[in-house]
Amino acid sequence: MPSYVVAGASRGMGLEFVKQLLAKGNLVFAIARTPDKAAGLQALKADKNLHILKGDITKPQDMKAAAEATAKVTGGSLDVLINNAAYLSHDGTYNAIDDFESDEALITSFNNNWNTNVVGVVLTTNAFIPLLAKGLLKKVLTLSSGLGDPFFTLETEFEWCVAYSVAKCALEMVNIKYAAKYKKEGWLFLAISPGVVSTAEEAPPADVLPKLQTMAGQFMQAAPHWTGPITPEDSVGKMLAILDKTGPDMSGKFISHLGNREQWL
Protein backbone atom coordinates (compact mmCIF):
# COMPACT_ATOMS: atom_id res chain seq x y z
CA MET A 1 0.00 0.00 0.00
CA PRO A 2 1.23 3.58 -0.63
CA SER A 3 2.83 5.30 2.36
CA TYR A 4 2.21 8.92 3.33
CA VAL A 5 3.67 11.27 5.93
CA VAL A 6 1.47 14.17 7.01
CA ALA A 7 3.37 16.87 8.91
CA GLY A 8 1.09 19.03 11.02
CA ALA A 9 -1.60 16.41 11.49
CA SER A 10 -3.12 17.26 14.84
CA ARG A 11 -6.20 19.13 13.62
CA GLY A 12 -7.81 21.01 10.75
CA MET A 13 -6.65 20.11 7.27
CA GLY A 14 -3.80 17.95 8.54
CA LEU A 15 -6.21 15.74 10.44
CA GLU A 16 -8.51 15.64 7.42
CA PHE A 17 -5.63 14.49 5.22
CA VAL A 18 -5.05 11.64 7.68
CA LYS A 19 -8.73 10.67 7.69
CA GLN A 20 -9.11 10.63 3.92
CA LEU A 21 -5.85 8.81 3.32
CA LEU A 22 -6.71 6.13 5.86
CA ALA A 23 -10.17 5.75 4.32
CA LYS A 24 -8.44 4.80 1.05
CA GLY A 25 -6.37 2.11 2.76
CA ASN A 26 -3.04 3.94 2.78
CA LEU A 27 -0.28 3.65 5.35
CA VAL A 28 -0.18 7.00 7.15
CA PHE A 29 2.41 8.55 9.46
CA ALA A 30 0.91 11.55 11.25
CA ILE A 31 3.32 14.04 12.81
CA ALA A 32 2.09 16.33 15.58
CA ARG A 33 3.89 18.49 18.14
CA THR A 34 1.81 17.15 21.03
CA PRO A 35 0.09 13.93 19.90
CA ASP A 36 -1.34 13.22 23.36
CA LYS A 37 -3.38 16.41 23.14
CA ALA A 38 -4.53 15.80 19.56
CA ALA A 39 -7.97 14.36 20.28
CA GLY A 40 -8.80 13.87 16.61
CA LEU A 41 -5.69 11.79 16.00
CA GLN A 42 -6.17 9.77 19.16
CA ALA A 43 -9.67 8.91 18.02
CA LEU A 44 -8.15 7.25 14.94
CA LYS A 45 -5.32 5.36 16.63
CA ALA A 46 -7.12 2.03 16.50
CA ASP A 47 -6.54 1.97 12.74
CA LYS A 48 -3.58 -0.36 12.16
CA ASN A 49 -2.46 1.72 9.18
CA LEU A 50 -1.95 4.84 11.30
CA HIS A 51 1.32 5.63 13.05
CA ILE A 52 1.30 8.76 15.21
CA LEU A 53 4.68 10.47 15.62
CA LYS A 54 5.72 13.33 17.87
CA GLY A 55 7.60 16.15 16.21
CA ASP A 56 8.03 19.90 15.82
CA ILE A 57 8.98 20.78 12.23
CA THR A 58 11.22 23.63 13.40
CA LYS A 59 13.43 21.13 15.25
CA PRO A 60 15.70 19.15 12.90
CA GLN A 61 16.29 16.42 15.46
CA ASP A 62 12.52 15.84 15.67
CA MET A 63 12.16 15.47 11.92
CA LYS A 64 15.14 13.13 11.66
CA ALA A 65 13.67 11.01 14.46
CA ALA A 66 10.29 10.96 12.67
CA ALA A 67 11.99 9.84 9.47
CA GLU A 68 13.82 7.09 11.31
CA ALA A 69 10.60 5.89 12.93
CA THR A 70 8.90 5.85 9.53
CA ALA A 71 11.77 3.93 7.93
CA LYS A 72 11.53 1.20 10.57
CA VAL A 73 7.95 0.49 9.52
CA THR A 74 8.32 0.86 5.75
CA GLY A 75 11.74 -0.72 5.32
CA GLY A 76 13.32 2.65 4.53
CA SER A 77 10.98 4.07 1.92
CA LEU A 78 8.20 6.66 1.62
CA ASP A 79 5.88 7.43 -1.29
CA VAL A 80 4.42 10.82 -0.43
CA LEU A 81 5.23 13.66 1.99
CA ILE A 82 2.54 16.23 2.76
CA ASN A 83 3.90 19.42 4.33
CA ASN A 84 0.81 20.79 6.06
CA ALA A 85 2.23 22.32 9.25
CA ALA A 86 2.16 26.13 9.25
CA TYR A 87 2.19 29.16 11.52
CA LEU A 88 -0.59 31.75 11.43
CA SER A 89 -1.52 33.59 14.60
CA HIS A 90 -3.95 36.42 15.27
CA ASP A 91 -1.11 38.15 17.12
CA GLY A 92 0.20 40.72 14.66
CA THR A 93 -1.45 39.04 11.70
CA TYR A 94 -3.87 41.84 10.99
CA ASN A 95 -1.35 44.66 11.06
CA ALA A 96 -0.22 46.42 7.91
CA ILE A 97 3.51 46.27 7.20
CA ASP A 98 4.15 49.66 8.86
CA ASP A 99 1.52 49.25 11.56
CA PHE A 100 3.08 46.87 14.11
CA GLU A 101 2.92 48.03 17.71
CA SER A 102 6.70 47.86 17.96
CA ASP A 103 9.79 46.80 16.04
CA GLU A 104 10.07 43.85 18.38
CA ALA A 105 6.53 42.71 17.51
CA LEU A 106 7.35 42.93 13.80
CA ILE A 107 10.56 40.93 14.23
CA THR A 108 8.76 38.27 16.28
CA SER A 109 6.03 37.91 13.68
CA PHE A 110 8.51 37.57 10.82
CA ASN A 111 10.74 35.14 12.72
CA ASN A 112 7.85 32.89 13.77
CA ASN A 113 6.46 32.75 10.24
CA TRP A 114 9.87 32.26 8.63
CA ASN A 115 10.99 29.54 11.02
CA THR A 116 7.86 27.43 10.57
CA ASN A 117 6.51 28.27 7.12
CA VAL A 118 9.84 28.24 5.31
CA VAL A 119 12.70 26.69 7.28
CA GLY A 120 10.45 24.12 8.94
CA VAL A 121 9.30 22.87 5.55
CA VAL A 122 12.90 22.57 4.37
CA LEU A 123 13.94 20.68 7.50
CA THR A 124 11.01 18.29 7.14
CA THR A 125 11.54 17.68 3.44
CA ASN A 126 15.28 17.15 3.83
CA ALA A 127 14.71 14.62 6.60
CA PHE A 128 12.44 12.52 4.37
CA ILE A 129 14.33 12.87 1.07
CA PRO A 130 16.31 9.62 1.63
CA LEU A 131 13.07 7.70 2.20
CA LEU A 132 11.31 9.31 -0.76
CA ALA A 133 14.24 8.33 -2.97
CA LYS A 134 13.39 4.68 -2.28
CA GLY A 135 9.64 5.15 -2.71
CA LEU A 136 7.55 4.43 -5.78
CA LEU A 137 5.73 7.75 -6.14
CA LYS A 138 8.32 10.33 -5.03
CA LYS A 139 5.78 13.09 -4.41
CA VAL A 140 5.95 16.07 -2.04
CA LEU A 141 2.85 18.22 -1.58
CA THR A 142 3.46 21.49 0.27
CA LEU A 143 0.53 23.60 1.42
CA SER A 144 0.96 27.26 0.64
CA SER A 145 -1.55 30.10 0.26
CA GLY A 146 -2.92 32.36 -2.42
CA LEU A 147 -1.83 35.16 -0.09
CA GLY A 148 1.72 34.28 -1.17
CA ASP A 149 0.92 35.24 -4.77
CA PRO A 150 2.07 38.85 -5.38
CA PHE A 151 -0.42 39.40 -8.21
CA PHE A 152 -3.36 38.28 -6.09
CA THR A 153 -2.26 40.64 -3.32
CA LEU A 154 -2.09 43.55 -5.77
CA GLU A 155 -5.46 42.69 -7.24
CA THR A 156 -7.23 42.46 -3.87
CA GLU A 157 -5.19 45.21 -2.18
CA PHE A 158 -4.90 42.86 0.80
CA GLU A 159 -2.52 44.58 3.22
CA TRP A 160 -2.58 42.25 6.24
CA CYS A 161 -1.02 38.87 7.08
CA VAL A 162 2.30 40.50 6.18
CA ALA A 163 4.86 38.03 7.56
CA TYR A 164 2.68 35.06 6.62
CA SER A 165 2.30 36.26 3.03
CA VAL A 166 6.03 36.98 2.67
CA ALA A 167 6.89 33.53 4.04
CA LYS A 168 4.44 31.80 1.71
CA CYS A 169 5.86 33.74 -1.23
CA ALA A 170 9.34 32.49 -0.28
CA LEU A 171 7.95 28.97 0.06
CA GLU A 172 7.24 28.95 -3.67
CA MET A 173 10.97 29.33 -4.34
CA VAL A 174 11.72 26.55 -1.88
CA ASN A 175 9.42 24.29 -3.88
CA ILE A 176 11.10 25.37 -7.11
CA LYS A 177 14.58 24.66 -5.75
CA TYR A 178 13.60 21.08 -4.91
CA ALA A 179 11.97 20.68 -8.33
CA ALA A 180 15.07 22.01 -10.04
CA LYS A 181 17.22 19.34 -8.41
CA TYR A 182 14.92 16.33 -8.65
CA LYS A 183 12.65 16.82 -11.68
CA LYS A 184 14.90 14.83 -14.04
CA GLU A 185 14.68 11.92 -11.62
CA GLY A 186 10.90 11.81 -11.89
CA TRP A 187 9.97 13.50 -8.63
CA LEU A 188 6.99 15.79 -8.07
CA PHE A 189 7.27 18.84 -5.80
CA LEU A 190 3.92 20.62 -5.86
CA ALA A 191 2.91 23.69 -3.86
CA ILE A 192 -0.83 24.11 -3.44
CA SER A 193 -3.21 26.60 -1.87
CA PRO A 194 -6.11 24.91 -0.08
CA GLY A 195 -8.43 27.87 -0.62
CA VAL A 196 -10.07 29.71 2.25
CA VAL A 197 -10.90 26.88 4.62
CA SER A 198 -12.96 27.00 7.80
CA THR A 199 -10.65 25.43 10.38
CA ALA A 200 -10.98 27.81 13.35
CA GLU A 201 -11.81 26.07 16.62
CA GLU A 202 -12.80 29.29 18.34
CA ALA A 203 -14.11 32.70 17.36
CA PRO A 204 -11.51 35.33 16.39
CA PRO A 205 -10.92 38.30 18.71
CA ALA A 206 -13.57 41.02 18.45
CA ASP A 207 -11.12 43.59 17.06
CA VAL A 208 -10.26 41.25 14.19
CA LEU A 209 -13.82 40.72 12.96
CA PRO A 210 -14.10 44.02 11.02
CA LYS A 211 -10.86 43.20 9.20
CA LEU A 212 -12.11 39.72 8.34
CA GLN A 213 -15.24 41.30 6.89
CA THR A 214 -13.11 43.69 4.86
CA MET A 215 -10.99 40.77 3.68
CA ALA A 216 -14.09 38.86 2.57
CA GLY A 217 -15.22 41.91 0.59
CA GLN A 218 -11.83 42.17 -1.11
CA PHE A 219 -11.91 38.50 -2.02
CA MET A 220 -15.44 38.78 -3.43
CA GLN A 221 -14.41 41.76 -5.54
CA ALA A 222 -11.53 39.75 -7.02
CA ALA A 223 -13.62 36.59 -7.38
CA PRO A 224 -17.36 37.42 -7.59
CA HIS A 225 -18.24 33.72 -7.57
CA TRP A 226 -16.69 33.21 -4.13
CA THR A 227 -19.30 32.59 -1.43
CA GLY A 228 -17.10 32.06 1.62
CA PRO A 229 -14.87 29.47 3.28
CA ILE A 230 -15.07 25.82 2.31
CA THR A 231 -14.84 22.82 4.62
CA PRO A 232 -11.64 20.88 5.30
CA GLU A 233 -13.32 17.82 3.77
CA ASP A 234 -13.95 19.64 0.50
CA SER A 235 -10.51 21.25 0.33
CA VAL A 236 -8.54 18.11 1.15
CA GLY A 237 -10.63 16.01 -1.23
CA LYS A 238 -9.83 18.39 -4.08
CA MET A 239 -6.12 18.55 -3.21
CA LEU A 240 -5.73 14.78 -3.01
CA ALA A 241 -7.50 14.37 -6.34
CA ILE A 242 -5.00 16.79 -7.89
CA LEU A 243 -2.06 15.05 -6.22
CA ASP A 244 -3.17 11.64 -7.48
CA LYS A 245 -3.33 12.73 -11.12
CA THR A 246 -0.31 15.07 -11.18
CA GLY A 247 3.09 13.92 -12.40
CA PRO A 248 6.68 15.20 -12.72
CA ASP A 249 5.78 17.53 -15.59
CA MET A 250 4.11 19.78 -12.99
CA SER A 251 7.01 19.72 -10.54
CA GLY A 252 7.83 23.16 -9.15
CA LYS A 253 4.38 24.57 -9.88
CA PHE A 254 2.23 26.52 -7.42
CA ILE A 255 -1.49 26.00 -7.97
CA SER A 256 -4.81 26.28 -6.19
CA HIS A 257 -7.12 23.55 -4.92
CA LEU A 258 -8.96 24.14 -8.20
CA GLY A 259 -5.90 23.04 -10.17
CA ASN A 260 -4.64 26.32 -11.62
CA ARG A 261 -2.99 29.61 -10.71
CA GLU A 262 -5.79 31.84 -11.95
CA GLN A 263 -8.39 30.88 -9.33
CA TRP A 264 -7.26 30.97 -5.72
CA LEU A 265 -10.88 31.18 -4.54
In which region does residue 76 sit, left (phi positive, over 0), alpha (psi from -120 to 50) or beta (all else)?
A: left
Q: Which of 164, 178, 235, 256 is catalytic?
A: 164
Which H or E run contains 254? Answer: strand 254-256
192: three-class secondary structure by DSSP: strand
Give the count of beta carbons closer than 10 Å to the beta carbon of residue 188.
Answer: 23
No. of H helices and E strands in the chain? 9, 7
Residue from 17, 3, 25, 84 nearest 240 by CA: 17
Give the count of beta carbons closer than 10 Å to the beta carbon of residue 209.
Answer: 11
251 tagged catalytic: no
Residue from 167, 143, 138, 165 nearest 254 by CA: 143
First to last CA, the chain: 33
178 tagged catalytic: no
> Distance (Å, rounded) from C-alpha 17 to C-alpha 19?
6
Q: Which of 3, 10, 77, 145 is catalytic?
A: 145
168 tagged catalytic: yes
Dihedral, 173, 177, 182, 186 alpha carbons, nearest 10: 20
- Determine whether 11 is exposed, middle or buried from the number of CB atoms within 10 Å of its CB (0-12, 13-18, 19+): middle
Q: Are 92 and 161 in contact (CB under 8 A)?
A: no
Which residue numbers are catalytic?
145, 164, 168
